């Protein structure tokens, strides 16, 4: 893993220093009110610590996709208020992230103050990683902290360009994420088992190829398992299946064989004729899927097999549900495996790291998200990390 600097490497005396902090404040909002404060809660420790240490804390963040123009509805100003409540500390707001508007507010700051700057994506240079924009941002700071892992897969001015212009450090939330990911795939306790599920192989080819080189067993579930089964000649009926990716699936299976990674595929499935809640369903052996039916979940024998691998594992990395978990009863396999992994984790027998939009929703649905070692809410950045890619925002924090 890239070695990175943290707030512990920062000079202890930061009284009066201007600290630019990149945070993720891309929160769900309705009618100008923040409806979910999870992301705000995650950046509180870093902001509080820097403020307590006497820094002038200047926050940079994006919101939505204004595409380089000022879009009133995508102003961060309503977020300042929610942040103020979570921090229990006054938060001022500047109507631009660079230039006179920012400078005027920053000049008025004293030690410990917190200021939120307007949406970085109001400038076209943000997503283009324009060096001039990064320089204009750097002019307002003495040091830089990145606490937004979820934006670290993008080389943007505020996430990457700026980091090279000032002494740069990982914030507490970024640090926690990187340390958890290191335990998951960087230097994991062995054996390592990965579960990859979800809808399609096509969105996860890079991820599967990276995992077979790193893990001892790869469990393939969800809709994408059908593509692998079909590639092996199993009839999958009307199931979601990318028949055109048979060669890709076979290549991944042979790479796994030469790397000594076991591939674990479903041995039974829950099938239905309709994709809706409470649809008539039955469990069949994977060899006996009716031609007019769809596999919508893994069956109990498959769950038993997966739990056997979880039992054997010291580390579990998980992305993608084992079935169409949004619709009952097709959530059963995902819920059962998630609960078993949670149990093993709580018992101290397993390090469990999971991530992905639907995966987080599935673990919440199973009621176990807080029992896993770490659940990443980072989405795209988490997937790119699972693909083994270097994240530009993290590379720029290298020690």
Catalytic residues: 39, 200, 357, 380
Residues in contact with ligand ADP, counted by CB under 6 A, come to a total of: 18
Closest approach of Mg ion to the CB of residue 174, in Å: 23
Task: Identify which of residues 199 and 267 has a Cβ nearer to ligand ADP in the complex.
Answer: 199
Instruction: Give CA–CA dist 256/260, Å, rounded.
Output: 6
Which of the ranges 27-35, 48-56, 313-321, 339-347 carries the binding residues for ligand ADP, by CB under 6 A?
313-321
> How many alpha carbons fall within 13 Å on the CB side of residue 24?
25
Q: What are phi and psi of 32, to 5 degrees?
A: 75, 15
- Please report, as residue ranges, which positions from 236 to 255 form the binding site for ligand ADP (by CB under 6 A): 240
Instruction: Give CA–CA dist 123/19, Å, rounded.
Output: 21
Q: Name residue 168's beta-bridge partners.
A: 144
Task: Identify which of residues 79 and 294 has a Cβ nearer to ligand ADP in the complex.
Answer: 294
Examine residue 320 and tell whether it contacts ligand ADP (CB under 6 A).
yes
Task: Identify which of residues 202 and 398 has a Cβ nearer to ligand ADP in the complex.
Answer: 202
Examine residue 302 and tell whether it contacts ligand ADP (CB under 6 A).
no
Q: Name residue 282's beta-bridge partners.
A: 271
Q: What are phi and psi of 285, to 5 degrees?
A: -65, 150
Contacting residue, 55, 321, 392, 393, with ligand ADP by CB under 6 A:
321
Closest approach of Mg ion to the CB of residue 132, in Å: 36
Contacting residue, 50, 358, 366, 381, with ligand ADP by CB under 6 A:
358
Which of the ranges 51-59, 128-136, 229-237, 316-324 carries the binding residues for ligand ADP, by CB under 6 A?
316-324
Instruction: Give CA–CA dist 103/20, Å, rounded.
Output: 13
Examine residue 222 and tell whether it contacts ligand ADP (CB under 6 A).
yes
Exposure b/e, 180-197, CB count within 10 A at least 16 = b = bbebbbeebeeebbbbbb
Examine residue 199 and tell whether it contacts ligand ADP (CB under 6 A).
yes
Structure-block tokens of residue 392:
């530009």
- Of Mg ion, ligand ADP, none, which one does residue 323 interact with (CB within 5 to 8 Å by kind)? ligand ADP
- Please report, as residue ranges, which positions from 278 to 297 form the binding site for ligand ADP (by CB under 6 A): 295-296
- Of ligand ADP, Mg ion, none, which one does residue 321 interact with (CB within 5 to 8 Å by kind)? ligand ADP
Which of the ranges 52-60, 252-260, 283-291, 353-361 carries the binding residues for ligand ADP, by CB under 6 A?
353-361
Q: Are 376 and 38 in contact (CB under 8 A)?
A: no
Q: Please report which residue ranges of the chain form alpha helices under DSSP H.
A: 38-52, 77-87, 99-107, 125-128, 131-138, 172-181, 205-214, 222-231, 246-259, 300-312, 332-346, 357-365, 380-386, 392-395
- In Å, how far are 39, 176, 275, 380 from 152, measured between CA atoms? 15, 14, 37, 9
Residues that bind ligand ADP (CB under 6 A): 197-199, 222-223, 240, 295-296, 319-321, 323-324, 326, 356-359
């Amino acid at each position: 893993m890239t070695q990175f600097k943290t707030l512990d490497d920062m000079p202890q005396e930061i009284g009066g220093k201007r600290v630019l902090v990149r945070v993720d404040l891309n929160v769900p909002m309705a009618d100008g009110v923040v409806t979910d404060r999870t992301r705000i809660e995650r950046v509180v420790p870093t902001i509080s610590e820097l403020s307590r240490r006497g820094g002038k804390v200047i926050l940079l963040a994006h919101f939505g996709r204004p595409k380089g123009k000022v879009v009133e509805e995508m102003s961060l100003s309503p977020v300042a208020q929610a942040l103020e409540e979570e921090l229990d500390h006054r938060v001022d707001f500047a109507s631009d992230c660079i230039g006179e508007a920012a400078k005027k507010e920053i000049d008025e700051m004293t030690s410990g103050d917190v200021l939120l700057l307007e949406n970085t994506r109001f400038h076209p240079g943000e997503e283009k990683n324009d060096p001039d924009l990064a320089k204009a941002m750097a002019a307002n700071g003495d040091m830089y902290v990145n606490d937004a892992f979820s934006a670290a897969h993008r080389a943007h001015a505020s996430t990457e360009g700026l980091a090279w212009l000032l002494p740069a450090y990982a914030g507490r939330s970024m640090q926690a994420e990187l340390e958890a990911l290191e335990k998951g795939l960087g230097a994991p306790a062995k054996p390592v088992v990965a579960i990859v599920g979800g809808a399609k192989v096509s969105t996860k080819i890079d991820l599967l190829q990276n995992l077979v080189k790193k893990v001892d067993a790869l469990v393939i579930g969800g809709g994408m398992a059908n593509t692998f089964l079909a590639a092996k000649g199993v009839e999958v009926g009307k199931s979601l299946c990318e028949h055109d990716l048979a060669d890709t699936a076979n290549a991944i299976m042979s790479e796994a064989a030469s790397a000594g990674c076991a591939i674990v595929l479903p041995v039974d499935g829950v099938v239905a004729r309709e994709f809706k809640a409470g649809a008539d369903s039955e469990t069949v052996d994977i060899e006996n899927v009716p031609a007019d039916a769809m596999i919508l979940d893994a069956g109990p024998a498959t769950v038993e097999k997966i739990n056997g691998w979880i039992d054997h594992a010291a580390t579990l990395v998980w992305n993608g549900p084992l079935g169409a978990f949004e619709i009952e009863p097709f959530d059963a396999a995902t819920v059962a495996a998630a609960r078993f992994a949670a149990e093993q984790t709580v018992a101290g027998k397993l390090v469990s790291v999971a991530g992905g939009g639907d995966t987080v929703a599935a673990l919440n649905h199973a009621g176990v998200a807080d029992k896993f070692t770490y659940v990443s809410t980072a989405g795209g950045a988490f997937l790119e990390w699972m693909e083994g890619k270097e994240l530009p925002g993290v590379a720029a924090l290298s020690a």
